[in-house]
Amino acid sequence: MMLFSPKARRMLDQAVGLLPNQSQRDLWRDWASAHPHARQPSGPRNDGGPPMPEHIFAIASVALDAMQDRLLALQAESTEHDVYVIDNDLSQLKAIRVTLDEDRRVHA
């Protein structure tokens, strides 16, 4: 499985934590607890294990989409400084999405 940076894992946890569906949040929490490893500087990008299960991938995807929508809505009414922070968060979400998609391609 592709490994996420510690910051990406925190952002994923935050995004899933905002989902209204308790079952999805519980599934993610259980999966994340069983897969705590994060990518470290100069460390491997992949742990050699199987890809993220499809139902967990779906939860992460929905959570990322919802967080992106929230950030874009906030961006429209934010100060210049806040826009900078939101832009950074949007870039991080895009990087997380790339890692998720890369995991799918590697194991296809």
Domain map of the chain by residue range? Answer: 6-106
pLDDT score recorded for residue 85: 92
Helices (H), 3-53: 6-17, 22-34
Residue 9 has pLDDT above 80, yes or no: yes
Residues 6+ apart with CB under 8 A from 21: none
Inter-residue contact 68 to 90 (CB < 8 Å): yes
107 band by pLDDT with thresholds 50, 70 and 90: low
Which SS3 state, helix, strand or coil, does residue 92 take? Answer: helix
Q: Is the pLDDT of residue 108 over 70?
A: no
Residues 78 and 70: beta-carbon distance below 8 Å: no
CA distance 98 to 36: 20
Confidence at residue 43, expressed as pLDDT on a 0 to 100 scale: 87
Provide the mean pLDDT of the chain: 92
- Mean pLDDT, rounded, for 65-83: 92
Q: Please give the average per-residue pLDDT across 27-40, as a whole number.
A: 94
pTM for the whole structure:
0.89
- Give Cα 66 distance to the centre of its chain: 11
| Structure confidence at residue 48 (pLDDT) | 86
The DSSP call for residue 18 is T
Structural tokens at position 10: 């925190």
Contact present, 66 and 40 (Cβ < 8 Å):
no
pLDDT at 75 over 70: yes
Mean pLDDT of 24-40: 94
